């Protein structure tokens, strides 16, 4: 580094020949090619206050143009803040650059700044690709070509959505990932814009947004409802219409067992909730809503029961719908359940069977001896465990 005769500093770097000067702000012009299009007044004022107190800590970069003037390559925000702070000059690095070099440097410098919004980043990439190959652009920015494509996807969205993405809102967060999902609704800008605002208003995650878009695509006739109601109501609408994805999923033995256990647990909870004393405290409107829900649940339960019954008749040779009481907890079970779903007690006890002779402690059908201890407390090794001749003495109250 050396100081020349007119007071400027000259030097060499990997960027080429440059000089450091204090330049009159009136001789500096911004460029229309500036990647950053959004300058927030509040942050500019904060920077201007910092400059008043400490000066410009990082020089801007300019290039000489005609008539002794300079054009900003990097640092327009510092330039604007310096004007606001009342400075007449600003420290600047002067570099001899042509139009293409200046544009590349400006785009690269702005791309690396965290406060550049996603749309501005996308447009910066688009500009670079006008004079760079995809491979060269990706290498220059230090990203993959797939990342470049993801940014450029944002420019396929309508201007209104790009504007929402560029906003600084305290209302909620609208991210790049949200915006990309809206591409699935291309051609319907009004819906895209309403959905973008709903995402911010309700703080929807990208997963929630994907579900909402799927619902709109699955049931376009319900679109207006989906855009107006909370997400959990959307799920309820889908469920009510019989099109919920949960109803069409494929089970594996393990997941089917888990699902069954969840249904048994939920059914037990429902038994506890069906308290008639609550009816006296409900308004007429509430009672109507509850009756509607209970009736719908009852219809669905009957339908599901018929499907279970048909499956058993089809797959379980010799199936008989015989209900018995669990000897321990009193739960009513189908005899084919083998064990009680609540207390896991073996259901078929010889002492409850009409074919068991308690005097001689033997089965009158097979002639097998079954001692009273085994007849009253059977286990998996007992003769009664899966006995096809089991005949309960007393018929349990049959399920509806």
Residues 6 or more apart from 66 whose CB is under 8 A from it? none
Tallying the residues shown for the chain, one arrives at 400
Token pair in block for residue 169: 């809102």
Q: What count of other Cβ atoms lies within 10 Å of the Cβ of residue 150?
A: 17
Burial 362-373 (b: 16+ CB within 10 A, else e): bbeeeeeebeee
- Residue whose C-alpha is closest to residue 74's, from 32, 38, 43, 30: 30
CA distances from 69 to 27, 89, 99 (A): 5, 13, 15
Q: Which residues are catalytically annotated?
A: 76
What span, in angstroms and rounded, lies between the C-alpha atoms of 278 and 56? Answer: 72
What span, in angstroms and rounded, lies between the C-alpha atoms of 311 and 146? Answer: 50
Contact 147, 138 (CB under 8 A): yes
Please provide residue 242's backbone torsions phi and psi, each rounded to the nearest 5 degrees: 75, 25
As beta bridge partners, residue 334 has 323
Q: Where are the alpha helices (DSSP H) in the chain?
A: 41-54, 76-84, 99-111, 118-128, 134-141, 145-153, 159-166, 176-181, 189-202, 206-218, 223-228, 231-240, 253-273, 284-315, 372-376
Q: H or E stretch including 74? A: strand 70-74
Contact 348, 386 (CB under 8 A): yes
Determine whether 119 is exposed, middle or buried from the number of CB atoms within 10 Å of its CB (0-12, 13-18, 19+): buried
């Amino acid at each position: 580094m050396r100081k020349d005769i007119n007071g400027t500093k000259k030097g060499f770097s990997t960027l080429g020949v440059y000089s450091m000067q204090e330049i009159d702000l009136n001789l500096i012009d911004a460029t229309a090619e500036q990647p950053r299009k959004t300058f927030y007044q509040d942050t500019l004022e904060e920077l201007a206050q910092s400059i008043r107190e400490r000066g410009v800590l990082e020089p801007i970069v300019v290039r000489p143009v005609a008539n002794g003037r300079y054009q900003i390559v990097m640092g327009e925000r510092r330039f604007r803040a310096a004007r606001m702070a009342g400075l007449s000059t600003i420290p600047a690095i002067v570099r001899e650059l042509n139009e293409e070099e200046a544009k590349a440097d400006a785009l690269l410098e702005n791309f690396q700044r965290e406060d550049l919004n996603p749309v501005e980043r996308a447009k910066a990439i688009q500009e670079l690709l006008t004079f760079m190959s995809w491979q060269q652009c990706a290498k220059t920015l230090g990203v993959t070509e797939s990342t470049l494509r993801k940014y450029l996807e944002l420019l396929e969205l309508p201007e209104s959505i790009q504007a929402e993405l560029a906003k600084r809102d305290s209302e909620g967060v609208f991210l790049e990932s949200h915006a990309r999902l809206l591409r699935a609704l291309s051609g319907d800008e009004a819906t895209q814009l309403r959905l973008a605002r709903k995402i911010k208003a309700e703080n929807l995650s990208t997963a929630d947004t994907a579900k909402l878009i799927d619902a709109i695509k699955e049931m376009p006739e319900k679109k207006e409802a989906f855009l107006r109601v909370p997400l959990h109501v959307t799920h309820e609408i889908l469920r009510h219409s019989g099109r919920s994805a949960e109803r069409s999923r494929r089970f594996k033995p393990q997941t089917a067992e888990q699902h069954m256990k969840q249904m048994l647990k939920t059914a037990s909870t429902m038994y506890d909730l069906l308290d008639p004393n609550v009816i006296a405290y409900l308004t007429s409107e509430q009672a109507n809503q509850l009756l509607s829900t209970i009736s719908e649940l009852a219809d669905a339960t009957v339908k599901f029961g018929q499907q279970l019954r048909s499956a058993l008749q089809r797959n379980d040779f010799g199936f008989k719908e015989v209900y018995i009481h669990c000897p321990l907890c009193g739960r009513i079970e189908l005899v084919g359940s083998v064990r009680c779903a609540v207390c896991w007690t073996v259901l078929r006890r010889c002492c409850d069977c009409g074919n068991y002779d308690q005097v001689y402690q033997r089965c009158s059908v097979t002639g097998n001896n079954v001692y009273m201890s085994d007849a009253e407390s059977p286990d998996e090794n007992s003769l009664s465990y899966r006995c096809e001749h089991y005949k309960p003495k007393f018929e349990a109250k049959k399920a509806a």
